[in-house]
Amino acid sequence: MGFKLPKTHNAYYDPVTFKMTPALYRVRAPFFWRNTIALFGVSLIPLGVYIYTWKKLDTDDFGDIPIPPLSEAEIAELKKEYEEKKKLDA
């Protein structure tokens, strides 16, 4: 008792292709432009956040991050190791 199926308006879709019927197009027509503008406005928010973040990160050279100090000898050794590995891969 008490359980009811939600109102689906199934009759307003073509039973085979499940496309909207002309009647449903007429029902939706008055709301079409306002809904489209709302969709545009709402989707601008995440899109704006994404573009802003991308632009902000692109200009960052990470100069403010301290690099741990290494001596010249250590750097030369690491470089050698790296090039040997590269040769092996190739």
Partner 1 sequence: MARRHVSFFKKMLSLEKTPEESNTKMYPWDESPYEDIRTRAALIRSRALCPVTKKSVNFVCPYSGIPTHHDEEAWLNDHDYHENKKYELLKKVNLYEHDLRSGRKFDEFVFPGAQEVDFTPNLSNWDTFLYTRDFSPMNTEFNMAAASKVLTYPVTIASILHKYSPHDAQPKGPVSVEGLRSMSALHYTLYPPFSKGKDSEVTFKERPMRIFIIGAKMEAMLPGYVWKQFGYLFPETKFELHFIGPECYFNPETRTFTSTDQPHGRPLIKRYDDQLTMHYHTHYFHEVYDMGDLFPFDPYLDVFFLFHPGFQTADSVHWDKSLKGLLESKCPIYVTGYHEVDAAREIAWLENHPLHDEMDFLMDQCPNPFGSTKLDLVDSNPTETFQANSDIFAFRGKRYHAIKV
34 counts as binding partner 1 under rule CB under 8 A: no
Contact predicate 14/21, CB 8 Å: yes
Q: Which is nearer to partner 1, 22 or 69 (CB)?
A: 22
Question: What angle (nearest 5°) sits at the alpha carbon of residue 1, between those of residues 9 and 4?
Answer: 10
41 counts as binding partner 1 under rule CB under 8 A: no
Contact predicate 7/18, CB 8 Å: no
20 counts as binding partner 1 under rule CB under 8 A: yes
19 counts as binding partner 1 under rule CB under 8 A: yes
Instruction: Catalog residues that contact partner 1 under the rule CB under 8 A.
Output: 4, 7, 9, 11-12, 19-30, 32
